[in-house]
Amino acid sequence: MSVGRTPARRPFPALLRAASRILPLTVALLSGTACAQGTEGRGEVVESQAARFRVTTFAGGLSHPWGGAFLPDGRMLVTERPGRLRLIDRDGSVSPPLGGVPEVAAAGQGGLLDIQLAPDFASTRELYFCHAAAVRGGNVTRLVRARLAGDARSLDSAQPIFDALPAQTGNGHYGCRISFGRDGKLYLTTGDRQRVSERAQDLSDLAGKLLRLERDGRPAEGNPALPGARPEIFAYGIRSPQGLAVNPATGTMWEVEMGPRGGDEVNLVRPGANYGWPVVGHGTAYSGLQIHEAPSRPDMQDPLRFWTPAISPSGVAFYNGDAFPGWKGDLFMGTLSSAGLMRLEVEGDQIRGEERLLWGQTRIRHVVQGPEGALYLLTDENRGRILKLEPAGE
């Protein structure tokens, strides 16, 4: 990373700028990542434990990109949190905002969030996205079904099909990650909405849950029969779920969530399981006060892995491409407060190790695998980018 020219009479600001560029590299070296040349977004070559890759900027000019999905032709739909949907061409050019996107409640953590194509998109052009919506009584996490127009310039028939009620004022912890399971059902995360943590334990309330739905928004057939529970609920006791993905090796669903001050979690999803928030966990309140009655309890599900202090995990993707054979089957996770990319070595439904990549460089909101096997990282910035990780060769 080059330092801009600074007049000789003002050396101290130049030293500060140089230090700010050296620090991420130092952190990367300490975490097992060696940068061979260049800078992030300009051809940086990184030696990881299981691959050698190059980081380039694939696209830019985005405002807090949040969710992404590749079309069958290799173009990419990307949401921007302020409420815009863009189409990124194969050369990285960014379209004007697509038409037909409904108004969103874009404030705080709310806005236009995740997007996923239907499993039969190639024939139906159907897609699903999630956003914060203003309704009577506050805001809700809303799921919308739509179709991409033939010219890919707009959405047709965008229709809300599900609201995670009851509504609440405030703009935190919406959840809003979407994934299709091997069973063809739609899985949707909802956060606890931050102000009343106990909502996550209330089975008559849709906050702080993992929901399993039919494609029209109805409760999916075969959901667990929990006493007094809403029929959409598949699992509960969840705080701020930011990642959701199917393990291609086992077909299981994995969920990733932020703790408060520590206690970030990766969870293996089991039908009817209670993941404990706020009763058990490994974090503390932002004030430093105790939240949980214990770290664990026999009737509540322990995470596969947790982090204290916090790393603030976000969007995830299991890698199943051929471009990086050493990464096959691993889970990649963007992080926000630690501003990097986490690789979790996965064997079956167990985590065997972790590697911290690009640590301390950029807040990464989401990870998406491209059709050619590259990884694409959505950065959480006012001038957001999509970074591309591809093999660097020898």
276's CB contacts (< 8 A; 6+ apart) are 237, 292, 296, 297, 300, 301
Q: Is residue 7 part of a domain?
A: no
Q: Is residue 383 part of a domain?
A: yes
Please report the pLDDT score of residue 387 as a whole number. Answer: 98
Q: Is residue 6 part of a domain?
A: no
Write the single-letter amino acid at 317: A
Q: Is residue 201 part of a domain?
A: yes
CA distances from 142 to 131, 132, 147, 242 (A): 5, 6, 17, 15
Please report the pLDDT score of residue 43 as a whole number. Answer: 83
The first and second tokens of residue 163, run together, are 């609201």
Please report the pLDDT score of residue 393 as a whole number. Answer: 81
Beta strands in 340-394 (DSSP E): 340-347, 350-357, 364-369, 375-379, 384-391
What are the backbone angles phi and psi of residue 226, rounded to the nearest 5°? -95, 135
- What residue spans of the chain are helical by DSSP H? 11-30, 121-124
Question: How do residues 288-345 score in pLDDT, each as one tens digit?
Answer: 999 999 999 999 999 999 999 999 999 999 999 999 999 999 999 999 999 999 999 9
Helix/strand/coil percentages in the chain, nearest 5: 10, 45, 45
CATH of the domain at 174: 2.120.10.30
Query: Mapped to the 3 state alphabet, what secondary structure does 13-51 carry?
Result: HHHHHHHHHHHHHHHHHHCCCEEEECCCCEEEEEECCCC
Residues acting as catalytic residues: 173
Torsion angle defined by CA atoms of residues 94, 99, 103 and 108, in that order, rounded to the nearest 10 degrees: 0
How many domains, the chain?
1
- What residue spans of 215-269 are helical by DSSP H? none
Instruction: Report helix, strand or coil for 280.
Output: strand
Please report the pLDDT score of residue 30 as a whole number. Answer: 36
Q: Is residue 159 part of a domain?
A: yes
Among residues 141, 248, 129, the alpha carbon closest in space to that of 190 is found at: 141
Q: Is residue 19 part of a domain?
A: yes
| Residue numbers of the domain that contains 181 | 13-391
pLDDT mean values, one per 10 residues, the chain (394 residues): 35 38 38 39 84 97 98 98 98 98 98 98 98 98 98 97 98 98 98 98 98 98 97 98 98 98 98 98 95 97 98 98 98 98 98 98 98 98 98 86
Q: What value does the mean pLDDT of the chain take?
A: 91
Q: Is residue 67 part of a domain?
A: yes
Please report the pLDDT score of residue 42 as a whole number. Answer: 56
Query: Measured in whole angstroms, how far is the alpha carbon of residue 180 from the centre of its chain?
Result: 15
